[in-house]
Each structure stands twice: as C-alpha cells, then as structure tokens.
Amino acid sequence: MDENSLTLIALTALIIGALGVGFGAYSMWQVQVGAINGEDGEDGKDGTTTTIVTYDDTIEYPCSSFTEINNSLTAIGTGFGIITIINNISLTNTIKINGGGNYIIQSTGATIFFNGRIFDIRNAKSLTIQNIKIKINGNFPGIFIYENDNPVHINNVHIFGAVKNGYGFSISGSDNVWISNCIVENVTTGILIDSDNVWVSNCFIEKTTNGISQYNNYENAHIYDNIIKNCSANGIDLDGINNIVEGNIINGTGSIAISVGNFYNTISNNIIENSVGDGGIDLYANFSVVEDNIIRFFKKIGIRVNSGCYNVIAGNIIANSTETDVDASCIEIRLKGSYNTIDANGCFNCKVSGSKVGYGIRILSGCNNNTVVGNTSLFNEVNYQSIGTDTYISGNNFI
C-alpha cells in the first residue's frame, strides 16, 4: 500500500468522524497514537516502514437546561464525555455526578443558579469542572464533593452568594481534589476541607466569614499562592496534620489571618497585612514550622504560639502593631508553650498607646525551655521579655 493511499484513508477517517453526530452530541477527532505497517514488499507481506496515524472520538454534549445536563451524564455512563453549558441556567434540581465515568463539565461563560447545591459529586473516575460561574442562594455549597477518592480538578470557577450564606466548595472524605484559579465571594466559608490530599492554588477569596477551613485531623492539604481578602473571621483555619500553607497573600481578616493546630504543619512565605482582629498567625500546633513570612499592620499579635511545643519560628519579619487597648507582641509564646525555637526573626515597631505595652518578643509565665537565637527586635516599647523558665538566649540584637 503506497503512502498516498494511506494518507487518503486517514483523512477520510477524520472527515467521517467530524461529520458523525448522535442524539444531543457531536464527535470530535483528536490525536492518539496508533501504528499502521507501511508499504507492501514484493512478497505480498507488509514492509518494515511504520506510519503513525491519529484518532480518538471524544463526545461533546452542548446543554442549555438541567434536563439536557442530566441526560448527558446518563449517556456518558461509565465512559468519557464533555458537557458544555452554552447559556445561563436556573436549575430545577442539583446536578448529581454519580455514574462512575470520566467527565469534563465546562461552559462558554454561562452562569448557573439554584437555591441549593449546584454540583453533588459522589462517584467519578475523573472529573474536571472549568470556566463556569455559579450563583448560590442559601446555606449550601456551590460544589459538594463527597467520598470520591478519584481525581477531581476544579479550575476557573467563579462562585458568588446572592446573600452571604453557604459555602463555595465543600470537600468531605474525598482525596485527590485540586481547586485552582477560582474566585469565591460573599459566602460563609470559601472552601471547607474535610478530606486528605486537597490542593488549593491561585484562588481569590473575598468577603467571606472564613476563607479556607479544615477540620477533623485530615492530612496533606497544600494551600498556596492564593489571595484572601476581607474575611470577617479567619483567612485560613487548619486543624490537621502535614499541611503546607505557602505563598498566600491575606489582607483584612477580622480575627486571625492563619490559624493552625495539630502536628507537622509548615507555614511559609506568606504575606499578611491589615489584620483588624487578633492578628497574624496563631499556632496551637506541635512540631510545626513558621518561616519566612511577612506580617505588617497587625493588631494584637504577629505570631503567637498558643500552648504549642517543639515548633520553629524562623526568618519572619513582623512590624507595626495597630493595637490601642491591650498588650501586643510581634512574637509571643504563652499557655505553657515549651521547647520552641525562635530564630533569626525581625520584630519592629510594636507600640501601644496608654498604659498597655508593645513587645518585640515575649515569653509568658509557665513556658519552659524555649530557645531565642539570632533575632533582631528593635523600636518596640519592650524589645524582649521572658518570664518563662530556662529560656536559652544567644546572638540577638535587642538594643
């Protein structure tokens, strides 16, 4: 068989595939690798040349109503398909993804509205939801992922509350979820995590009560490169194990910018500004690391170790308390926090009006065997105070 004939057959297959249609769907042919033996030899057998051809039929379902979306999910079954929402939809029920298939759900810029959960995800081999706007009304999550341990990726989804209620995302008992490049605003909690192995990156969360919350000792959340603004309570609130919070910008929280409990967490390279509640980072964890963060214009505390032990607080810059009514500290260890290390931090300009005091580094009574080395604490009302027991001090600049 000559190469011209082979090329003609491949092109014919592409044309037939492009014209193929089904009920509520159309077919797109895309690149997959397959091998066809090359030119025949004179003995009538295939020759040694191999030609690579490409084919793959991927079914796309354009949808403009809840019924069409539901029918498309049924048609996909346990296979693969793309559902494209082509106009705004006011749902009559929740979109339930429970068929065990491989799905991509996207839109051409459409908004979905419902007085309840928009997406309920319980059984998918793989799922991507992308390029969709979601408007919620009521104490419900916009996207609810429940006991689904297969890969779920939510990308470029905008969730906003008609009133300040409900959740943007709620992830319960579902490993391997990645939320990226999403916007969540005007809800109670932007992202609620009750699962292991959840990644949240490059999201913008604003005007919520809590930005990102994790409960119940779950593990391995990776929260990075997000912007969280104007939360009336906490920006990031994690009570789990082996979590990483890095590279986030948090501005204008009403309570604590980052609150972390449990064990083995890392909080690094975040920028925290204008906390109008207690302040920056509240660590009630053990065996955790808080390093290389910048905290400016905090209220009561920059970094506080609340009864935690064996933590490392290193390389942070904390400056400019805005407190006026109570004592304030750039770094503070309290409530029997012991065996912590405060190393190479910069603490500056913590001052409080009236009879209250602004401290650079402060270790309170009942806190034992902490280490304070290589820090610079200047221009505070009191640069350093320790009334704990057996504090080791070396190489600091407290002049």
What is the mean pLDDT of the segment spanning 15-21? 36
Structure confidence by residue, pLDDT tens digits, 130-171: 999 999 988 889 999 998 889 999 999 999 998 888 899 999
The pLDDT assigned to 66 comes to 96
User: What is the pLDDT at residue 18?
Assistant: 38
- In a domain, residue 48? The reply is yes
How confident is the model over 212-232, as pLDDT tens digits?
999 888 999 999 999 999 999
Q: Within this chain, do residues 311 and 354 fall inside the same structural domain, yes or no?
A: yes
Per the structure, the complete domain to which residue 40 belongs is given by: 3-53
Q: Within a 10 A sphere around the Cβ of 329, how many other Cβ atoms?
A: 31
Task: Assess if residue 44 is contained within a domain.
Answer: yes
Of residues 14 and 150, more confidently modeled: 150
Tell me: pLDDT of 80 over 80. yes
Q: What is the 3-state secondary structure (H, E, C) of the chain?
A: CCHHHHHHHHHHHHHHHHHCEECCEEEEECCCCEEEECCECCCCCECCCEEEECCCEEEEEEECCHHHHHHHHHHHCCCEEEEEECCCEECCCCEEECCCCEEEEEECCCEEEECCCCEEECCCCEEEEEEEEEEECCCCEEEEEECCCCCEEEEEEEEEECCCCCEEEEEECCCCEEEECCEEECCCEEEEEECCCEEEECCEEECCCEEEEECCCCECCEEECCEEECCCCCCEEEEEECCEEECCEEECCCCEEEEEEEECCEEECCEEECCCCCEEEEEEEECCEEECCEEEEECCEEEEEECCECCEEECCEEEEECCCCCCEEEEEEECCCECCEEECCEEECCCCCCCCCEEEEEECCCCECCEEECCEEECCCEEEEECCECCEEECCECC
- Residues 172 and 136 occupy one common structural domain: yes
Is residue 58 one of the residues assigned to a domain? no
Q: Which residues contact 84 (CB under 8 A, 6 or more apart)?
A: 60, 61, 62, 63, 106, 107, 108
Residue 7: its pLDDT value, please?
39
Residue 59 counted as domain residue? no
Q: Indicate whether 33 pLDDT > 60.
A: no
Residue 46 pLDDT exceeds 90? no
Residues 222 and 352 grouped into a single domain: yes
Same domain, 360 and 234: yes
User: What percent of the chain lies above the pLDDT cut of 70?
Assistant: 85
Residues 126 and 42 in one domain: no
pLDDT at 366: 94
* pLDDT of res. 58: 65
Statement: residue 22 has pLDDT above 90? no
Amino acid at 318: I
Q: Rounded to whole angstroms, how far apart are CA atoms 319 and 347? A: 6
- pLDDT of 25 > 60? The answer is no
Residues 226-255 have a mean pLDDT of 96
Model pTM? 0.84
Domain boundary among 176, 208, 240: 208
Mean pLDDT within 21-33? 36
Evaluate whether residue 363 is within a structural domain. yes
Q: How many domains does the chain have?
A: 3
Q: Residues 313-364: pLDDT tens digits?
A: 999 999 999 888 899 999 999 999 999 999 999 999 999 988 899 999 999 9
* 343 Cβ contact list (under 8 Å, min separation 6): 312, 313, 314, 315, 371, 373, 374, 375
Q: What is the pLDDT of residue 354?
A: 80
Mean pLDDT of the chain: 86
Is the domain of 80 the same as that of 14? no
Same domain, 220 and 162: no
Phi, psi of 237, rounded to the nearest 5 degrees: -130, 105
| 70 pLDDT more than 90 | yes
Note whether 258 and 360 are same-domain residues: yes
Residue 6 binned pLDDT confidence (cut-offs 50, 70, 90) = very low
Asked whether the predicted pLDDT for residue 274 surpasses 50, the reply is: yes
Query: Is the pLDDT confidence value at 88 over 80?
Result: yes
Q: Give the CATH number for residue 253.
A: 2.160.20.10
Do 349 and 216 share a structural domain?
yes
Together in a domain, 304 and 382: yes
pLDDT interval class at 125 (50, 70, 90): very high
Neighbours of 92 (CB within 10 A): 10
Identify the domain boundary among 208, 235, 262. 208
Among 152, 177, 208, residue at a domain's last position: 208
Query: Given this model, what pLDDT does residue 263 score?
Result: 94
Interstrand relation of 25-29 and 371-373 (parallel, antiparallel or unpaired) = unpaired
Q: How far apart are CA 113 and CA 256, in angstroms?
A: 32
pLDDT of residue 277: 85
Instruction: Report the pLDDT averaged over residues 106-115.
Output: 92
pLDDT tens-digit readout, 277-325: 888 999 999 999 999 999 999 999 999 999 999 999 999 999 999 888 8
Task: Say if residue 24's pLDDT is above 50.
Answer: no
Q: Which residue has the higher pLDDT, 34 or 399?
A: 399
In a domain, 188, yes or no: yes
